[in-house]
Amino acid sequence: MMAQPVETSAPRKARSPLVRALFFVLGLICLALVPLSYLPGIPTFDLVLLAAFFFSMSSDRMYSWMLNHRYFGRIIRGYREHGLTTRMKWVAAVSISASLSLSGIFLTDNLWIRVILVAVGVYALWFVFTRPTRERTSR
């Protein structure tokens, strides 16, 4: 089976140099946090997808590097081509619910911030569960 060439051009790029620089820095931060993903509660998948998004908005070179990286590229292509497994969706749902609930309970007493957290959580759960579902494969 021959490997398919990976599209390396970014789908869109921010117009402002300042915004591109901000996205580039955010991409680097996401990549810097990937080694910490062996700790519980820090998902590699999310950090890699966020870094790819930020680089797609800022740097063709870094975006291309991520898509062609043997580890990161596999994660990105798997998501793009096949969606999420049911297990991934439930892990994301539990993580989203736990983090937003704990934030709302322990980090704020403001009712409006709690309402915003609930709205963000509902949107995030809707987003996760509307992504395509793929069968779990061993790779």
CA distances from 32 to 25, 29, 35, 104 (A): 10, 5, 7, 27
pLDDT at 81 over 50: yes
pLDDT tens sequence across 18-54:
999 999 999 999 999 888 877 666 678 888 988 999 9
Q: Quick one: how far is CA 46 from the chain centroid?
A: 3
Average pLDDT on 84-92 reads 84
Q: 84 forms bridges with which residues in the sheet?
A: 133
Query: Would you kindly state where each structural domain of the chain is located, as residue ranges?
Result: 17-82, 84-134
Residue 102 · residue 108 · CB < 8 Å: no
